[in-house]
Amino acid sequence: MRDLHTSSTALAASTSLAADDTTLLEDFATLSAFGATPGGGVDRQAATAADGEQRAWFHRWLTAHGAEVRHDRVGNQFGLFTVAPGAPYVLTGSHLDSQPLGGRYDGAYGVLASAHAAYRAVERWGAQDARPKYNVAVVNWFNEEGSRFKPSMMGSSVFTGKLDAETALATTDRQGTTVRAALNEIKTVGDYAGPDVAAYAEIHIEQGRELEDQGITIGLVDATWAARKYQVVVRGEQSHTGSTVMADRHDALFGASLLVVAVRELAERSTDVPLHTSVSEMTIEPNSPVVVAREVRLHVDLRSPDEAHLDAAARQLAESIPGIEERASVTIERVRTHGWGVAPFPAAGVELAARAADDLGLSHRTMMTIAGHDSVNMKDVAPSVMLFVPSVEGISHNEGEFTDDRDVRAGTDLLTEVVHRLMSGALDDVR
């Protein structure tokens, strides 16, 4: 694996680095210190103390750069740069929360790039002594990762009307703490309804290796893979691991293990169409050495660029359940908890970003996003542009996540250009 440390020598050696690029990288280093882990990553899951600290820092950053900061009731944090009073806003952002032992770039890069892009775009309109059609606002969506509180993309799901705010606020973590209590604890919650959004832009690390392998700087996201997520409960009966004869056992962990294998085999059998499958979370009750498990709860995550194929895989999984129930002598309950379809981002937005990248001399290609992003929600309510920069070795949800400083800067330059164009109404014809 490559060196985890940022390339400070490359930064020092660069003679053409503009002052605001230096500030961007310095701000990114500051941001990366919140919840920093010994392995070079971050651990700042939604509404933890580290998330609260970075939100307070980001609040100060926005205020110092002339934005008004407001929070909605599910903790989405908005920084409003109002330069055309009364007009709607171009919204740009991502999320600052991370996975447990996550990387520094996932989400955080997009929020910081958005803040710099919005500020630079406003400065540029000012320098041109021109008034844009739209204002610009930066957003740090609450709980995109969905690690502490499920589902993922929670803040943007509420904002776009896909998830009820009360349901989100009542969601509990493994300790039984509600989103409502956790948000009150970190004091980033309010009653703002959110801006009227004219267009949305987000930049993110690719989290795959296609851009790096092809030596391309910018990914222009033209569509999203579909995802299906399930909560599965395997119920057996608690008994003694030693004295209970094998024929009498109702071993929930054995049933869960058969399910883990069945989920993996879906992907192994899918040789013609890409299918990614995981059991990614498991809770075992009572999880004790001399006790056969009475209950196991699992989280199943299935993804594909072909929705019909994904549904067929989900059906195969459902069909495998009776056999597993019989073999392990357990019962299995499966509930679909979250998901999204294969869906396009507007072609006009891809085109706008491609022209802006050409103007900046940045290589680019179109691609689908495999991971979910807040833009996957936002594209359904506003014309949206989604950009990627390369992830070294495609490493993500891992402390070793890394994107080269040059790409960090290039992506921010492109986002600035895109935001500037969106502020003049460049996607007004979409929808």
Location of structure tokens 């119920």: 235
Of 106 and 413, the one with the shorter C-beta distance to ligand HGY is 106
CB of 284 to Mn ion, least distance (A): 25
Of 14 and 337, the one with the shorter C-beta distance to ligand HGY is 337
Q: Which of 50, 122, 139, 153: binder of ligand HGY (CB under 6 A)?
A: 153
- At 294, which helix (H) or strand (E)? none
How far is it, in rounded angstroms, from Cα 385 to Cα 92?
Answer: 9
| Binding to ligand HGY, residues 360-399 (CB under 6 A) | 371-372
Location of structure tokens 């103390």: 49
Quick one: which segment of 100-108, 163-171, 375-383, 400-408 binds Mn ion (CB under 5 A)? 100-108
Of 154 and 321, the one with the shorter C-beta distance to Mn ion is 154
Count other Cβ atoms within 10 Å, centred on residue 308: 11
3-state secondary structure of 198: strand
Count other Cβ atoms within 10 Å, centred on residue 362: 20
Q: Are 132 and 147 in contact (CB under 8 A)?
A: no
Which does residue 372 bind out of Mn ion, ligand HGY, none, counting CB within 5 to 8 angstroms by kind? Answer: ligand HGY
How far is it, in rounded angstroms, from Cα 258 to Cα 87?
Answer: 56
Q: Are 365 and 220 in contact (CB under 8 A)?
A: yes
Quick one: which segment of 80-88, 107-115, 260-268, 340-348 binds Mn ion (CB under 5 A)? 107-115
Q: Which of 144, 202, 212, 413: binder of ligand HGY (CB under 6 A)?
A: 144
* 427: phi then psi, degrees, rounded to nearest 5: -110, 25
Q: Are 321 and 266 in contact (CB under 8 A)?
A: no
Q: Which of 75, 107, 146, 383: binder of Mn ion (CB under 5 A)?
A: 107
Of 41 and 132, the one with the shorter C-beta distance to Mn ion is 41
In sequence order, what E strands does 115-274 have?
135-140, 197-205, 218-224, 226-235, 239-240
Q: Which of 54, 152, 398, 403: binder of ligand HGY (CB under 6 A)?
A: 152
Which does residue 152 bind out of ligand HGY, Mn ion, none, counting CB within 5 to 8 angstroms by kind? Answer: ligand HGY
How far is it, in rounded angstroms, from Cα 81 to Cα 258?
Answer: 53
Of 21 and 145, the one with the shorter C-beta distance to Mn ion is 145
How far is it, in rounded angstroms, from Cα 301 to Cα 102?
Answer: 18
Q: Which of 146, 195, 339, 346: binder of ligand HGY (CB under 6 A)?
A: 146
Quick one: which segment of 113-121, 144-152, 377-385, 415-423 binds ligand HGY (CB under 6 A)? 144-152
User: Which residues lie below 8 Å from residue 304, measured CB to CB, with a gap of 6+?
Assistant: 225, 226, 270, 273, 274, 275, 276, 310, 313
| Residue 399 within binding range of Mn ion, rule CB under 5 A | no
How far is it, in rounded angstroms, from Cα 381 to Cα 110?
Answer: 20
3-state secondary structure of 215: coil
Which does residue 107 bind out of Mn ion, ligand HGY, none, counting CB within 5 to 8 angstroms by kind? Answer: Mn ion
CB of 149 to ligand HGY, least distance (A): 12
Residue 190: which of 81, 73, 47 has the closest Cα? 73
Of 374 and 417, the one with the shorter C-beta distance to ligand HGY is 374
Quick one: which segment of 3-11, 54-62, 65-73, 146-154 binds ligand HGY (CB under 6 A)? 146-154
CB of 388 to ligand HGY, least distance (A): 13
For residue 421, the 8-state DSSP code is: H
| Binding to Mn ion, residues 131-190 (CB under 5 A) | none
Quick one: which segment of 105-113, 154-162, 307-315, 378-386 binds Mn ion (CB under 5 A)? 105-113
The count of chain residues that interact with Mn ion, using the rule CB under 5 A, is 2
| Residue 106 within binding range of Mn ion, rule CB under 5 A | yes
Please report, as ranges, the residues that interact with ligand HGY according to CB under 6 A: 144, 146, 152-153, 371-372
Please report, as ranges, the residues that interact with Mn ion according to CB under 5 A: 106-107
